[in-house]
Amino acid sequence: MRGLQAAGGAALTGEAAGSRTSPPRRRRVALLAALAVVVYGLDLATKTAVLRTLEGKDPLVLIPGLLQFRVIFNAGAAFSIGTGMTIVFTIIAAGVVVAILRTARKLRSLPWAVTLGLMLGGALGNLTDRLFRAPGGLQGHVVDFVEVFPSHFPVFNVADSAIVCGGILAVFLAWRGYQLDGTRDGGQETAPETHKAEEGSQDRAESRNDG
């Protein structure tokens, strides 16, 4: 009878574990998608606004010597790096988007959901420019407009900021051992040991009750 109960309990426990792990993954993926949409929408809205109001005009100085808006068309990567490699960066951006979408299938970590959401939204924002801005094709130019410490720091946009923040978070999470599945390094080994300890305690309690 105990064997049947144990087998039944194991099956029920496995089903319960599956039901517990599935919803967190869906919630993490939903958070990733929502954050990516917010970043993408904010990037698109700010680029559209500055093009309508500042294109071809003098910079809009917000804080003298510290912050101003100035529209430029960037053929390179984030912060105007590699201006002669537009097609390469377009392909890289598309690859990043595909990689993040594939990685989302394993996602159960809240910090990684935020990290990937920032990177996905930023990559989609700049990829949209590269595909649809002049001159078009795979060589479109990204709209940059935020300039801090004018003449001392590259001009960037919302997408660039999201990508950089996501990259910094990714490095930090990897350094601290956080995994996409919500565990840390060695966490997969700890869980089974805890489960065995609980089973041992339950068996000892049953033995005392039988005695």
Positions annotated as catalytic residues are 144, 160
Q: Quick check: 97 and 174 in contact, CB under 8 A?
A: no
Give the burial string for 4-29 (b: 16+ CB within 10 Å, else e). eeeeeeeeeeeeeeeeeeeebbeebb
Cβ neighbours of residue 181 closer than 8 Å, sequence gap 6 or more: 106, 107, 108, 109
Q: At what angle do helices 86-103 and 110-132 cross, to 10 degrees?
A: 150
Cα 185 from chain centroid? 20
Task: List the one residue out of 142, 134, 144, 141 whose CA is nearest residue 69.
Answer: 144
Assign residue 95 a region (left: φ > 0; alpha: ψ between -120 and 50; beta: otherwise): alpha
Enter the DSSP assignment of 105.
Answer: G
H-run or E-run covering 69: strand 67-74
Pairing of strands 60-63, 142-148: unpaired
Residue 157: C-alpha distances to residues 69, 85, 133, 150, 192 (Å): 10, 19, 15, 14, 46
